[in-house]
Amino acid sequence: MIAIISDIHANYEALKSVVADAKDNGCTEYICLGDIAGYHSEINQTIELLKGLGNLRFILGNHDVYLIEKSGCPRSKLVTASLRYQESVITTDNLIWLTNGVLSIRHGDTLFTHGGPHDTQEQYIYKVREETFPSGTRRIFCGHTHVQKILKLNEKQFCNPGSVGQPRDGDARAAYAILDGDNIHLRRVKYDIEKTQDAMKQAGFAEACYLNLSHGTQVGGRIDDIKLVGESSR
């Protein structure tokens, strides 16, 4: 079985709990849909845990590229501040390891990506349509929105496993999915949110960067969802 994880965002405590749950449920492989970096403070601990998994494949998310290129986030000074912190503490070995990520993974008619098929890093998919699926693609796994969801459209299937490190669907528990053959199981796992928040406080992060973790929202408090547009078969 394969654990599908995404949007960890340097939240080590959340990742630790998800990995423990995945192992308890028989997962021996891992696919990360990107955004290992960004938002939170424990980038080295997070990468070291991922490196120790062994059977891991990972995709580059937009925050990973921001960190690698030291470009900051074009949309947010707050996000850029967190990336600047990570730039200052990440080890050379861990930064080199991060550059080994790919833009997408394909297995037959299944596509794994961070954003979406039309922009692997920056495409936000909040509405799933027939046009969401490229030719020859029956199933898509993507992250980026931090919203856990499975949707069926005719014979096609969309899955966002949700965010390990910063859920935005109103549930503060860490989110991921298990792929068992053709079956997908969504999982939510409690983790020590206060420990993550304390680490951020000690690193000098602004309060606005971590209060949202207690509520499962975006920074600023917004809750998001992903909806189906079109006919669904049951």
Q: How confident is the model at residue 218 (pLDDT cuts 50, 70, 90)?
A: very high
Place of tokens 């189906």: 228
pLDDT, position 74: 86
Question: pTM for the full model?
Answer: 0.96
More confident residue, 76 or 101: 101
Break the chain into its structural domains and give their ranges: 2-228
Distance from C-alpha of 172 to C-alpha of 195, rounded to nearest angstrom:
14
Distances (CA, A) of 64 to 13, 93, 117: 19, 15, 18
* Strand-by-strand arrangement of the 29-32 sheet: 56-58, 29-32, 2-5, 174-180, 183-189
Residue 232, pLDDT above cutoff 70: no
Nearest to 192 by CA among 9, 16, 4: 16
Distance from C-alpha of 169 to C-alpha of 38, rounded to nearest angstrom:
19
Distance from C-alpha of 188 to C-alpha of 49, rounded to nearest angstrom:
19
Residue 48, pLDDT above cutoff 50: yes
* Strand-by-strand arrangement of the 156-161 sheet: 104-107, 110-113, 139-142, 156-161, 148-153
Q: Mean pLDDT of all residues in the chain?
A: 96
Write down the CATH number for the domain with range 2-228. Answer: 3.60.21.10
Residue 53, pLDDT above cutoff 80: yes
pLDDT, position 231: 62
What tens digit of pLDDT does each residue of 116-154 get?
999 999 999 999 999 999 999 999 999 999 999 999 999
Percent of the chain having pLDDT more than 70?
A: 98
Residue 234, pLDDT above cutoff 80: no
Does residue 15 sit in helix, strand or coil? helix
Q: Tell me how many helices (H) and strands (E) the chain has.
A: 6, 12
Average pLDDT over residues 67-80: 91
DSSP string, 94-131: HHHHHTT-BSEEEETTEEEESS-SSSTTT---SEE-GG
pLDDT, position 1: 95
